[in-house]
């Protein structure tokens, strides 16, 4: 309805297709409104890219969630020429993902490359220090329900 109202995207994902990740990421960047992102549970691989790609100042993680970054996986097969083509594509994809993470975290592309050589899991504090998210969401204390017994006791005073 309102093209300028924030969209809230909750991510709990082990990752998946790089093509799908980049399609969602590009859409998030294209929209006129801000996209606030929330890591709930696990945001791994492409899920981490989506959380990090949220609007600056509006990237959140829950206290017991985790994030994981790594280089893209590739399954290559076929003729040697096909393997070369697929390998080149995977390398270009890795470079693209490193640029995206660098743009949103403040880390250099070189640092991202080193840090994603293997699976790197980050706690909420580590994710914030790394620049993947802006804030750790701390649950607000809920008001205690007032029982009839408590009401009766208060009325007698």
The CA dihedral of 24, 28, 32, 33, to the nearest 10 degrees, is 120
Would the pLDDT of 70 be above 90? yes
Q: CA 4, CA 34: separation in Å to the nearest integer?
A: 7
Pick the CATH number of 7-156 from 1.10.10.410, 3.40.50.10310, 3.40.190.80, 3.90.226.10: 3.90.226.10
Q: DSSP characters for 94-125?
A: HHHHHHHHHHHHS--HHHHHHHTSS-EEE-HH
Please, which pLDDT band fits residue 57 given cuts at 50, 70 and 90?
Answer: very high
For position 141, what pLDDT does the model report? 80
Please, which pLDDT band fits residue 157 given cuts at 50, 70 and 90?
Answer: low
Would you list the domain boundaries of the chain? 7-156
Active-site residue numbers? 45, 70
**Separation in Å, CA 46 to CA 35, 124, 132, 138:** 16, 17, 13, 25
Please, which pLDDT band fits residue 24 given cuts at 50, 70 and 90?
Answer: very high
Would the pLDDT of 128 be above 80? yes
Mean pLDDT of the 117-123 span: 98
Question: Could you tell me if 102 and 112 are in contact, meaning their C-beta atoms sit under 8 angstroms apart?
Answer: yes
45: left (phi over 0), alpha (psi -120 to 50) or beta: left
| Beta pairing, strands 59-61 & 66-69 | unpaired
Q: What is the pTM of this model?
A: 0.86
Please, which pLDDT band fits residue 76 given cuts at 50, 70 and 90?
Answer: confident
**What letters, b where the CB count within 10 A reaches 16 and e where it falls short, cover 113-145?**
bebbeeeeebebeebbebebbbebeeeeeeeee
């Amino acid at each position: 309805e309102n093209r300028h109202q924030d969209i809230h995207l909750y991510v709990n994902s082990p990752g998946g297709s790089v093509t799908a990740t980049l399609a969602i990421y590009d859409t998030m960047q294209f929209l006129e409104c801000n996209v606030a992102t929330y890591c709930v549970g696990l945001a791994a691989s492409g899920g981490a890219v989506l959380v990090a790609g949220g609007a600056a100042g509006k990237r959140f993680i829950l206290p017991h969630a985790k994030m994981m970054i790594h280089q893209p996986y590739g399954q290559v097969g076929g003729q040697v020429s096909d393997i070369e083509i697929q390998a080149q594509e995977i390398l270009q994809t890795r470079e693209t993902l490193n640029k995206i993470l660098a743009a949103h975290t403040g880390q250099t592309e070189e640092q991202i490359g080193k840090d994603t050589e293997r699976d790197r899991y980050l706690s909420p504090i580590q994710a914030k220090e790394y620049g993947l998210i802006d804030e750790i969401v701390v649950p607000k204390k809920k008001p205690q329900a007032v029982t009839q017994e408590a009401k009766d006791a208060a009325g007698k005073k």
